[in-house]
Amino acid sequence: MTEAALKTLIEITAGVTLAVPVGRLDFEASTGFQQAIEQAIAGAGASAVVVDCAQLEYVSSAGLRVFLIGARAAKQANVRFSVCGLVEAVRRVFVVSGFDKLIVEHPDRAAALAALQ
């Protein structure tokens, strides 16, 4: 594969850092995604990190692990952490893993941003 399966776009607006993973979050992609999430949490001035999963097509246990690490790191750093826009298959993985009880979830980006106001 010459092209990465996952790109994570970062958007910063008014104290909120949006991390937008686009593609497939598999074993190979999980290391890069972890770096992106950790940077988003550590980023200057961020009081909240929202992972917008609307363009995330696939996640495995290696990817879930990063969400868990991210949620913990955010809590330690006093940064609010949430996810939004989970497609059905990805949401099923979250629920089966019990992650819906560990990580705040919103239906879409607008709802996630509104909840931070």
Partner 1 sequence: MSELRAANTDLPTLNRELNHAWEASGLSPEGLFPFELALEEVFVNAITHGAQAGETRQFQMAFSHSGARAMLVLRDDAPAFDPLSLASPDVDATLEDRAVGGLGIHLVRELMDDVTYRRVDGYNELTLSKHID
Residues that bind partner 1 (CB under 8 A): 1, 5, 26-28, 58, 60-62, 64-65, 68-69, 71-72, 75, 89, 92-93, 96-98, 101-102
Min dist. Cβ of residue 62 to partner 1 (A): 7
SS (H, E, C) the chain: CCCCCEEEEEEEECCEEEEEEEEEECHHHHHHHHHHHHHHHHCCCCCEEEEECCCEEEECHHHHHHHHHHHHHHHHCCCEEEEECCCHHHHHHHHHCCHHHCCEEECCHHHHHHHCC
24 or 109: CB nearest partner 1? 24
Min dist. Cβ of residue 63 to partner 1 (A): 10
27 or 47: CB nearest partner 1? 27
